[in-house]
Amino acid sequence: MGYYDQDYENRYKKPKGNKGGYVLASLVGVILGALLVAVAFPRLMDNNLIPGNSAPAEEATENRNAVETRNVAVNVETDITKAVDKAADAVVGISNIQGTGFWEGSNGEEAGTGSGVIYKKEGGKAYVVTNHHVVEGASSLEISLTDGTKIPATLRGSDVWTDLAVLEVDGSKIETIAEFGDSDALRTGEPVIAIGNPLGAIFSGSVTQGIISGLERAIPVDIDQNGIVDWQAEVLQTDAAINPGNSGGALINIAGQVIGINSMKIAESAVEGIGLAIPINSAIPIIEDLEKLGKVNRPYMGIELQSVNEIPSYYQKEALKLPEDVTNGVAVMRVEPNSPASQAGLKELDVIVDLDGEKVNDTIELRKHLYTKKNVGESLKVKFYREGKLQETTMKLAGNTL
């Protein structure tokens, strides 16, 4: 009698009908293995874990990190470069040539250099504005264009009070004219650019950048170098570098417009970055007078003055006879014959304290009122002390210089 083990049959019985599944599984395994070898094989060779003809690890790394290099030209154009391109060719160098005499063997030598701005071209002539101190004492003048061309210049007029001067040159070689902006519209912190020739021709056309550091700065000026302040120049303050030779050059805004004529810097060991420029709105009427008349047509009184606060208190009482509460004003030291002051009855030792209803404390305030608020031919009301008594007169202003 035979024995039938059902479990044995179930355990060892061959499966039927599933051959496709084994083939698919085998195919997937082959593909995955191939991918694994493709990824791992180069890294194993790079690290010398298996033999091969691959380059050393260092060379392989260099090859992977190698980057093609080439020169690249970058077109850098900004508002600043545009502004400089617009104005730079209108800024010229100025040579102040002073004669040394025939016996010295030379007709003249360059006594100093500065900068100037070409602002007008008309009738075959071109006109350049610069500083008075740049051209002072010159026996002849010469301008240098940006391309090195030198052109003789003639002085049309110069004004010591505003430190401005105007030159005339042949305009046949002049191509670029500066555009004036509006200095009254400037704001503190606004970017500006100074263009000029610091230290002479070697640094011609130098460009420095800064900002407007201050507006309407009042700077004391000693015109006659006697140690007494004669005038207060109202200027723009900038931190754009201004050095000797920059004087008379252009201070431009970001639109390339001239908004100031570079004039001076504060040169003290403890001070850095304080440059000063004449506002173009203040300069324009002076430039026009110098170009057309050769001088500034200012009203004048015809008197020699001294501030009361510069006179010892003893003489204020004994000579001027001033009341004790009057410590300011302008003393008349001398009256020119037939002058407006003489015709109005002013005399020596009179003390002017009021002009047109405005209090006058010193000679600077008197000149400011006269030069900025009055015109030639106008009437001026004057209050003054004589022998301790307050009096009043009216004078008709003539045209000349105080």
Of 115, 133, 144, 307, which one is the catalytic site residue?
133
Mean pLDDT of 367-375: 89
Q: Flag whether pLDDT at 150 surpasses 50.
A: yes
The two three-digit tokens of residue 207, written as one number: 């460009």
Extended beta strands in 198-322, E state: 206-221, 231-238, 250-252, 258-265, 275-279, 299-300, 303-307
**CATH assignment of 84-100+110-170?**
2.40.10.10
Q: Are 367 and 218 in contact (CB under 8 A)?
A: no
CATH of the domain spanning 299-399: 2.30.42.10
Quote the pLDDT of residue 242.
85
pLDDT mean over 12-19: 47
Per the annotation, the verdict on 247 as an active-site residue is: yes
Predicted confidence (pLDDT) per residue in 56-67, tens digit: 555 555 555 555
Q: Per-residue pLDDT for 182 more than 60?
A: yes
Rounded mean pLDDT, 343-350:
95
pLDDT above 70 as % of the chain = 75
pLDDT above 90 coverage of the chain, percent: 55
Does the pLDDT value for residue 104 go beyond 70? no
Dist. CA 250–CA 51, nearest whole Å: 75
CA distance 39 to 332: 104
pLDDT at 266 over 90: no
pLDDT for 8 equals 37
Q: What is the mean pLDDT of the chain?
A: 82
User: Is residue 163 annotated as part of the catalytic site, yes or no?
Assistant: yes
Residue 318 in tokens: 């004994």
So where are the chain's domains? 84-100+110-170, 190-293, 299-399
Catalytic residue among 95, 247, 263, 282: 247
- Whole-angstrom Cα distance, residue 119 to residue 126? 8
Q: Is beta strand 140-144 parallel, antiparallel or unpaired with respect to 150-159?
A: antiparallel
Q: What is the pLDDT of residue 14?
A: 45
Residue 269 CB neighbour total at 10 angstroms: 5
195-217 pLDDT, tens digit each: 998 877 777 888 999 999 999 88
89, 159, 163, 239: the catalytic one is 163
Same fold, 84-100+110-170 and 190-293: yes
The CATH H-level (homologous superfamily) assignment of domain 190-293 is Trypsin-like serine proteases (2.40.10.10)
CA dist 343 and 340 (Å) reads 5
- Is 113 within 8 Å of 98 (Cβ atoms)? no
Confidence of residue 264 (pLDDT cuts 50, 70, 90): confident
- Residue 132 designated active-site: no
**Predicted local confidence at residue 228, as pLDDT:** 76
